[in-house]
């Protein structure tokens, strides 16, 4: 067992794996931590983190903090990035999780894969200093890949290592990281994404901004945040949104989110699943049916049947599809 222990935040990406690997190569015991915020879209991210831990020879803890993280998205102290990504607040949140594990495990510092100057919102010098301060880690927060370029760290103060043991990587180029990965045999990692891909998506950000405007941040629960990921979204009124599936995956997901909401399907012809969020009027139900029929396998002008259901109540709706050229479609579409 190593004399001194560290907690390494692992995202599944290359930089965090390299930071953990370097720390271990310097003789420290390392435990990896991956925190799920619920907004990561990298396929196999957890599998990649676990595989990286196995290859590096370190244990990995997985923590689901998705419910707690919603409050960060609702009201980030330091605001949003280019979309609805609360970069600085996210870093502080993750680092506090790592600090809690550090205390629980008797470790002495926290390691991240942050690189000075790599990300414009969260990895310039002032931002790095801010999150170190607000996470209350201070010098116990170590960025090994840029350590020579940053302030003194706790391991240096204790005389466990020297400043030259850290690296001096900076900027957006990943050439040196890829060279190190090849040298150290690190082969499995996700592409860089910042860990909040969904919040960076333009369409999702537009839908979330719209929901915050009309409903208020506190009215959105975990399911409401999830619903924003799927289908085409159309605002029919202040309190009503129609969601039309785009493919089989969307249709399947919308069906699972049907509790308390009107759901429409096509019993006699191929077509998308539609879901109505809110309390629609009869006119808005008809409009939702016509919107759904526009994306069904139905010729323009041909009447079609949809079955609308909500919590045991059923209605049969006969409508004609909206024309693809109907201007109303784009006026109603939230992410148009």
Tell me which DSSP letter residue 170 carries: B
Give 53's contacts (C-beta < 8 A, 6+ positions apart): 10, 32, 59, 60
Supply the range of the domain harboring residue 211: 201-332
Residue 176 and residue 278 in one domain = no
Q: How far is CA 96 from CA 35, 43, 81, 99, 137, in A?
A: 11, 25, 20, 5, 8
Predicted confidence (pLDDT) at residue 165 exceeds the cutoff of 50: yes
Residue 54 and residue 149 in one domain = yes
Residue 41: predicted pLDDT = 63
Residue 43: predicted pLDDT = 47
Residue 92 and residue 129 in one domain = yes
Residue 16 and residue 143 in one domain = yes
Predicted confidence (pLDDT) at residue 194 exceeds the cutoff of 60: no
Domain boundary among 147, 173, 198: 198
- Return the minimum-mean-pLDDT range out of 40-49, 137-146, 257-266: 40-49
Residue 298 and residue 157 in one domain = no
Domain boundary among 133, 166, 198: 198
Residue 48: predicted pLDDT = 76
Structure tokens at 16: 């965090």
Predicted confidence (pLDDT) at residue 136 exceeds the cutoff of 60: yes
Residue 207 and residue 153 in one domain = no
Structure tokens at 201: 């998506």
Q: How far is CA 257 from CA 6, 113, 252, 261, in A?
A: 41, 37, 9, 8
Residue 22 and residue 137 in one domain = yes
Tell me which DSSP letter residue 142 carries: E
Tell me which DSSP letter residue 190 carries: B
> Mean per-residue pLDDT for 280-295?
97
Structure tokens at 106: 């008797």
Helix (H, G, I), strand (E, B) or coil at 320: coil
Domain boundary among 198, 227, 259: 198
Helices (H), 75-159: 87-105, 125-134, 154-157
Predicted confidence (pLDDT) at residue 249 exceeds the cutoff of 50: yes
Residue 211 and residue 134 in one domain = no
pLDDT tens figures, 75-113: 999 999 889 999 999 999 999 999 999 999 999 999 999
Residue 44: predicted pLDDT = 47
Q: What distance in Å separates the CA atoms of residue 264 and residue 251, rounded to the nearest whole number? A: 10
Residue 214 and residue 149 in one domain = no
> Mean per-residue pLDDT for 32-37?
94
Residue 28 and residue 96 in one domain = yes
CA 300 to chain centre: 39
Q: What distance in Å separates the CA atoms of residue 132 and residue 85, rounded to the nearest whole number? A: 19
Give 139's contacts (C-beta < 8 A, 6+ positions apart): 132, 151, 152, 153, 154, 157
CA 97 to chain centre: 17
Q: Which CATH number fits the domain that encloses residue 61?
A: 3.40.50.620
Number of domains forming the structure of the chain: 2
Residue 187 and residue 279 in one domain = no
Residue 180 and residue 193 in one domain = yes
């Amino acid at each position: 067992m190593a004399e001194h222990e560290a907690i390494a935040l692992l995202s599944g990406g290359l930089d965090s794996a390299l930071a953990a690997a370097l720390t271990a190569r310097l003789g420290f015991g390392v435990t990896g931590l991956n925190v799920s915020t619920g907004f990561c879209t990298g396929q196999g991210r957890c599998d990649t983190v676990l595989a990286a831990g196995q290859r590096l020879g370190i244990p990995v803890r997985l923590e689901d903090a998705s419910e707690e993280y919603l409050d960060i998205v609702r009201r980030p102290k330091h605001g949003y990035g280019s979309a609805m990504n609360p970069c600085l607040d996210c870093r502080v949140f993750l680092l506090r999780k790592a600090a809690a594990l550090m205390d629980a495990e008797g470790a002495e510092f926290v390691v991240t894969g942050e690189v000075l100057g790599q990300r414009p919102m969260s990895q310039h010098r002032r931002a790095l200093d801010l999150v170190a301060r607000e996470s209350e880690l201070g010098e116990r927060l170590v960025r090994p890949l840029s350590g020579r370029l940053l302030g003194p760290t706790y391991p240096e103060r204790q005389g466990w290592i020297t400043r030259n043991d850290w690296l001096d990587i900076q900027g957006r180029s990943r050439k040196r990281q890829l060279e190190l990965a090849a040298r150290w045999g690190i082969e499995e990692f996700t592409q860089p994404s910042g860990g909040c891909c969904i919040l960076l998506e333009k369409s999702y950000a537009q839908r979330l901004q719209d929901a915050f405007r009309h409903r208020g941040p506190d009215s959105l629960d975990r399911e409401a945040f999830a619903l924003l990921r799927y289908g085409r979204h159309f605002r029919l009124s202040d309190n009503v949104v129609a969601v039309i599936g785009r493919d089989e995956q969307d249709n399947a997901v919308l069906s699972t989110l049907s509790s308390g909401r009107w759901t429409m399907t096509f019993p006699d012809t191929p077509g998308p699943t539609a879901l109505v969020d809110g309390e629609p009027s009869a006119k808005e139900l008809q409009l939702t049916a016509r919107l759904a029929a526009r994306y069904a396998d139905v010729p323009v002008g041909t009447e079609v049947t949809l079955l609308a259901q909500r919590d045991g109540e059923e209605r049969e709706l006969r409508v004609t599809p909206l024309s693809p050229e109907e201007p109303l479609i784009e006026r109603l579409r939230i992410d148009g």
